[in-house]
Amino acid sequence: MTQDRVQPRRRPRAWLPALGLVVLAAGLACAGPVAQVLRLRCAPIHSEPGFEKGATTDTAYLGQRLEVIDRKDDWRKVRYETEKVTQAEKFKEGWIHASALAEPQAGAAPASQPWVRDGAASLPRFDGEHSKAARHAEARKLKLAGILDLEQLYPSAKDLDAFLKEGKLGLYRTDWPVLAPTAAAKASEKSSKTEKKDEKAPEKKTAAPKDGGKQEGAK
């Protein structure tokens, strides 16, 4: 024989959604930056979210680890480690296009940079008179020095980056922007016009435009 117990009436669990909210709030508050890696050979890091905005501040390389700390449309604000020693300069931030990023694969070692050599310093050492090429040149009465001089002209990674930046090359883009003059180009055009005017009328010469001054300073 079973005794039918009268179950006490349960209160509606009103606290459950509130607890959920709390957990969600706590989770969101504790959520840190998302680590991603660069999936391209290299990609520029911009100061502003946009190809035409701001300046290119740095270059990220294949496999480099970048922490996404903010996002705006297709752009991600990333924090990355630099080679600087001081803590203040150790981490830098910038904007990078989302298409350049990928989830890091477990166990995958970061790939090396495409050009980590610094100039001709790390090229295979030429063993001078004992080399085959030297003896061939000697036998044929050729001057090998010209070719060895050419080897010394190999650019450093910094030079190559500057060269690519100057020509706007090596950027990953699904489509190239219209080659309309950008704000910087317009400013430089204006400055060149003012310079021309100044040349025509030297007595009315005024202070050099800001952009021109900056460029000169940079050079």
Partner 1 sequence: MSPRLRHAFRTPATLALLAALFLIGCQPKETARSMLNDVGTLSKDAISATERLATKTGESVGLLKPQVDYVANAWKPRVSPGDAPPPEALSYSFAEEREIGRAVAADLAGRYGLYNDEKLARYLTRIAAALAAFSERPELPVCVGVLSSEDVRIFEAPGGYVLVTIGALRIAESESELAGLLAAAISHVNLRHALAAFDRLRKELPEGARKTPVLELADENFSALAGRTASWLVKDGHTPEQVRAADRAATDLQVRLGYEPGGLRAYLTRANLRQKERHGTQAPDYESFKTRCADLDARVAELQAPANGHNLSVRSRRDCTARLPAPRSTP
Residues of this chain that interact with partner 1 (CB under 8 A) are 14-15, 18-19, 21-22, 25-26, 28-29, 31, 41, 70-71, 73-74, 114-115, 117, 120, 123-124, 126, 131-133, 135-137, 139-144, 146-148, 150-151, 153-155, 159-160, 163-164, 166-176, 179
User: Which CA distances in Å does 57 have to 27, 44, 96, 203?
Assistant: 33, 7, 11, 39
Please identify, using beta-carbon distances, which residue of 103 and 159 lies nearer to partner 1: 159
Q: Please name the helix (run of DSSP H) or strand (run of DSSP E) that holds residue 72, with its range, or none.
A: strand 65-72
Question: Smallest distance from the beta carbon of 37 to partner 1, in angstroms?
Answer: 17
Please identify, using beta-carbon distances, which residue of 1 and 31 lies nearer to partner 1: 31
CB under 8 Å to 87, separation ≥6 — which residues? none
Please identify, using beta-carbon distances, which residue of 75 and 80 lies nearer to partner 1: 75
For strands 34-38 and 56-61, give the pairing. Answer: unpaired
Question: Smallest distance from the beta carbon of 165 to partner 1, in angstroms?
Answer: 11
Please identify, using beta-carbon distances, which residue of 108 and 179 lies nearer to partner 1: 179
Residues 206 and 198 sit within 8 Å (Cβ to Cβ):
yes
Question: Smallest distance from the beta carbon of 142 to partner 1, in angstroms?
Answer: 4
Residue 156 DSSP SS3: strand
Please identify, using beta-carbon distances, which residue of 81 and 127 lies nearer to partner 1: 127
CA-nearest of 168, 60, 157 to 116 is 157
Question: Smallest distance from the beta carbon of 59 to partner 1, in angstroms?
Answer: 12
User: Which CA distances in Å does 68 have to 59, 96, 102, 104, 106?
Assistant: 16, 10, 11, 12, 18
Question: Smallest distance from the beta carbon of 166 to partner 1, in angstroms?
Answer: 7
